Amino acid sequence: MNALEHCFIYGIVDLGYVKPDAVTEITKKLVRGGIDLLQLRAKGVPIDEVRRIAQVMVAITQPAGVPFILNDYPQLLADVPAEGCHLGQEDGSIADARRVAGRPIIVGRSTHSIEQAITAEKEGADYIGYGPLFPTPTKPDAVAVGLSGLRKLHAQVRIPIFCIGGVKENNLRKVTEAGAERVCIVSDLLTAPDPYAKVRAVKADL
């Protein structure tokens, strides 16, 4: 979807880092800072609470023109006006997510190899997350894929690729010099003393 064409910095409000009562404030700061795309990741949270938090976030992102993505839960897209959902490797098919949503949506897929990335594109994903590039506390059991395959990946996959996993302001230059065009940053934004200023700094570096 061309809604992602000008999206380069993808933020994730992960409830593993952010308490529910802090979601409104951090979402406002990320959006004001210029985040291009924003996701809610709420693993292990009751679905009614996910719905409630998503409604809060989308009320902030939509007026700002920032696409809002739910991690998993395509069934919530029938009554949450998010722009799409993001699926892991084990989260079912992209076609099923679109069918359950019942309307046109953006669907992303997490990938951990070039082969998975190619498969996701063939399956109809609108974008992929690729990583983790580095070891990351967000996914402590995941094996880092490193930077060496980024140019090959971008040569073979034509949909937007958001490189994720341990990406921070202080290694962003290394990531882009290895071939990344888009990145997803999680802990570096969420744990920053001023998330607004951190987004501004990251955007200036990209």
Dump pLDDT digits (tens) for 69-81: 999 999 999 999 9
Is residue 139 among the annotated active site residues? yes
pLDDT at position 201 over 90: yes
Indicate the average pLDDT of the chain: 95
Confidence check: pLDDT of 12 > 80: yes
- Judged against a pLDDT cut of 80, whether residue 15 lies above it is answered with yes
pLDDT at 61: 98
Tell whether the torsion through CA atoms of 37, 40, 41 and 47 is positive or negative: negative
Domains identified in the chain, total number: 1
CATH code of the domain containing 10: 3.20.20.70
Query: Worst-scoring range by mean pLDDT, 17-21, 101-105, 122-126, 141-145?
Result: 141-145
Q: How much is the pLDDT for 140?
A: 75
174 given a catalytic annotation: no
| Angle between helix 23-33 and 47-64 (nearest 10) | 30
- Between CA 70 and CA 11 the distance in angstroms is 12
pTM of the complete model: 0.96
Provide the residue range defining the domain that includes 89: 2-205
DSSP code of residue 171: G
Q: Which of 29, 41, 109, 198 is catalytic?
A: 41
Catalytic-labelled residue, pool 28, 32, 52, 139: 139
* Structure confidence at residue 157 as a pLDDT band (50, 70, 90): very high
Which of 51, 98, 109, 110 is labelled catalytic? Answer: 110
What's the rounded Cα separation, in Å, for the pair 12 and 144?
Answer: 19
State yes or no: is 99 an active-site residue: no
